[in-house]
Structure 1
């Protein structure tokens, strides 16, 4: 699967904040994708296997996001993470164009959100 450009662009940038923001957009998009597994009008799940896959993927993405935001060197290198992400998104059968559209909604430049980088001592960089 090809990853959405918004995600690959962020990971080619050195900014941890930009990467974390792209992952936040991805998590939001996956939440919307997970809704497809619900049985309309009920509290039931029509596709528990798919919901579990999405849940596991969101956990891995959130873990990477925390590592980025805390400047942790633990976890997968970015290139390995992107490879994992492409394979996992392919497994849950999300169309790349649909995912890109969901991720682009409310783009930071359009909404006035700014990413402020901080050094390890709490100061801005």
Structure 2
């Protein structure tokens, strides 16, 4: 019965996100030569509209909600993970599961892009 419940409603067909961590790359002399995205998992998602309440709850002085997504509920993701969609990298501002723990909503802030397929470049602060 639970599988039938998951198929009801809007399908998650807007894209595929990857979650992971940003790790510092070093050369043989331990000098920092860049950063890279380390893949830990992936989820299909749907893009949701951002409400004013979402901006107030998950935004802040130095952060804004750039993207709101929904996915199936999972316990594999932590708020400290970074999210990669295509070449864009996002920080998780908030995760909000629904009451039935079938779906979860993600509030994301863009922090950079993946360059040359593996290197990570931060975007400048938006003040």
What TM-score comes out, normalization by structure 1 length? 0.24
Question: Which protein has the bigger strand share?
Answer: 2
Q: Which structure is higher in helix share?
A: 1
Larger Rg over CA atoms: 2
Q: Which has the higher contact order (CA 8 A, sep 6+)?
A: 1
TM-score by length of 2: 0.23
